[in-house]
Structure 1
Amino acid sequence: MNIVVDAFWDDEAKVWVASARDGIGIATEAGTMEQLQQKLSIIVPDLLAEDYQGPFEIELIARSHQTVAAA
């Protein structure tokens, strides 16, 4: 099963915020992308274990933006 998760950097909270597409109820946040990946590797099987037998593929799509001053 392929789970697509969108993540964006919340500059105010200083965390990556992630939620799954397809309305499966996965939403979490973490301070680094590595921490986010680790959390998802635990959350996804726990949430879906009753309905699906693994393996689960997690596709994490991250967005970040910044404003820079012109020279």
Structure 2
Amino acid sequence: MPIKKEIKIKAMWDTEAEVRIAVSDDVPGLVTEAETSEQLVGKLRILIPELLEANGLLKDAEQEDIPFHLSSDRTEIIRRTVLFSG
């Protein structure tokens, strides 16, 4: 069964753990984390086909392209110290 649509993956920055966490509604069971975007993509290249096959969404054992789009958000807080002179 060819994958016809691009799989959407959402990556979020976990400030406390200092890792990127990836999840997807298109790939049941997909939750993974990595310290860098490159490491995250490496994990996704392995996990996406494995999870699609495990969930019966990828039936053929043939080589085929599985397109995915990784979007990433990161929110930071800048803490400023206000100095009072007087």
**TM-score of the superposed pair, with normalisation by structure 1:** 0.83
Unmatched segments (≥5 aa) in structure 2: 81-86
Large movers: runs of 4+ above 2 Å? none
**2:50 maps to 1:51:** no
Give the AA of the match of 2:20. W
**TM-score of the superposed pair, with normalisation by structure 2:** 0.70
Give the AA of the match of 1:51. L
Q: As a proportion of its length, which structure holds more strand?
A: 1
Correspondent of 2:37 among 23, 27, 33: 33
Unmatched segments (≥5 aa) in structure 1: none
What's the RMSD between the two structures over aligned residues?
Answer: 2.1
Question: How far apart are residue 51 of structure 1 and its match?
Answer: 2.8
Larger radius of gyration: 2
Q: Number of residue pairs matched?
A: 71
Contact 2:27–2:52 under 8 Å retained in 1:
no
* Larger displacement relative to structure 2 (44-53 or 13-22): 44-53
Counterpart for residue 66 of structure 1? 76
Contact 1:15–1:31 under 8 Å retained in 2:
yes
